[in-house]
Chain A
């Protein structure tokens, strides 16, 4: 079988905590510190930008479950993310923008659309999966684009209520850069933990098995469509959670959020950051959006720059920039895993 996936999404067989030399507490402290730095130095605009990176990164993380562990390269992934963004945006007009409600709505939308997509695509593999997910995604795009009364058609939707967090005694508005950054940070962290537990749980092992040896998994009694469907739904839920916050950070949601080029962009981010690494999703999202935001202020040719970075990554560092740079500086990630 000529599988569309290859070794790029290799996971270590041991949990991450055993691999690194730093103890868990020290690493957590470092992470908190790193997350706190922007709060001190970044302005409102930069914090909103970081929030966007984290939210798109979360969507890319969910794609990594499919691509990196299932070998399922989907060009319809934007449907889970963008679909949830639209539903949350519309629902916020009626229900108000309570963050918990929005997240529930988004996760439900993401999972439901992933279930629908899954029923259609779960029996296909490789290029057939790629194209079928693309077709399903474009059908959704057509609907979003033409259903003007609800989605705003080509213009998209703007002007949402302020995202709020209800604590027991007070309602906190989440409309500043700081608040949106923190909310996205919590979301990204939760999503990363969920994805990591998925990968290390039996279902994650089984998913990896379907990527490596489909026939063997059948012979072991595993139902491959069922594994794929579960992976899609889990991935859709995470993408949906990210999508739910996207309108409030971005202040806009348009049909491009469900277009296949959005899915392609997520794949580009994932590859730049490192397929199968989970953390790479955020690195890739930061690099892509960084180029888009900062290079475009100097030249119109930012897509050229993104394309070049992407192609060079594929050619020189197929495991992503982090693994590539580590290898270049002598610390081979594969050896690190063996200790």
Chain B
């Protein structure tokens, strides 16, 4: 019993990482209709920033805002050039551009941070374990669950319940209309991309405590985040949450029950999902014809 409770919490903490990373992708896809495959690079950048910050002796909790800022800055620059030129292009062209950029960033980061695996020093306050039904569970993972949930909730609140969110959603439907209201849509898009990139960075800093930071992590995370977003139904908030939970639990429990074929089982579950629901868990409602 305690074993399964702990495994469920493990799954939940991993789902939370997937959710945070996926939400970054999904926000840009949903609000700006832009596919950003450099998102894995933001994650890895955040992870490296986190590792170096925690090793520096500066206040540990600042690592997360700093990772957000670093990745956000990268997102800001990329938005100016060349993302902006590709907003109106097809998804294919966006995929190609951003995948190419991610290849460049991967090599730049390998150059700058080296090829070895870097693990962060977990701050004192988050070290150690708590006992859940007599089973130990790392405090750091609880922190991820709590922090992640708060962040995801805040994001949902801003997008779904505030005037800023309404403006961004209006931009997607009719950009010209929003401009006639005297709002600068370019700034709005910049802001969305910075937030998305920052989310990627903060997920990286959080995730480094479990996954470490190394060349190639960017691609691994990108693939998982893409699976989450696409299986969720391309950018609906509810769908992304559901599919992050599904993938997180599938990957954790397949490791428990069938360790040899854990990835095969988890991937097969996601494949089966997409075969059964070719438009994802929560499909956007569109009238055909």
Contact = CB atoms under 8 A, between A and B. Distances in A.
A contacts B directly (C-beta below 8 A):
yes
Interface in A264-292: 264, 267-268, 271
Contacts of B89: 6
B104 A307 contact: yes
Interface string A120-156: 1001101110111011101100110010000000000
Contact of A131 (B33, B82, B106, B226): B226
Interface in B18-45: 33, 35
B234 interface: yes
A311 B97 contact: yes
Contacts of A126: 91
B33 A2 contact: yes
A261 B95 CA distance: 14
**Mostly helix, strand, loop or mixed at chain A's interface?**
helix
Contact of B261 (A146, A215, A300): A146
B92 A5 contact: yes
B263 A138 contact: yes
A304 interface: yes
A222 to B, nearest CB: 17
A142 B261 contact: yes
A15 B279 CA distance: 37
B267 to A, nearest CB: 5
Contact of B100 (A124, A127, A311): A311
Contacts of B234: 127-128
Q: What range describes how many residues of A lie at the interface?
A: 35 or more
Q: At the interface, is chain B mostly helix, strand, loop or mixed?
A: helix
Contact of B267 (A142, A146, A267, A304): A142
A4 interface: yes
Given A139-B271, A215-B289, A311-B97, A301 B103 contact: no
A248 interface: no
Contact of B271 (A127, A136, A261, A267): A136
B227 interface: yes
B104 A2 contact: no
Interface string A286-318: 000000000000001101101110110011001
Given A8-B92, A73-B95, 19 more contacts: A4-B91, A4-B95, A6-B92, A128-B279, A132-B275, A134-B223, A135-B271, A136-B271, A215-B289, A267-B96, A301-B111, A303-B104, A303-B106, A304-B108, A304-B111, A307-B100, A307-B101, A307-B106, A314-B100
Interface of A: 2-6, 8, 71, 73, 120, 123-124, 126-128, 130-132, 134-136, 138-139, 142-143, 146, 215, 260-261, 264, 267-268, 271, 300-301, 303-304, 306-308, 310-311, 314-315, 318
Interface of B: 33, 35, 82, 85, 89-93, 95-97, 99-101, 103-104, 106-108, 111, 219, 223, 226-227, 230-231, 234, 260-261, 263-264, 267-268, 270-271, 274-275, 278-280, 289
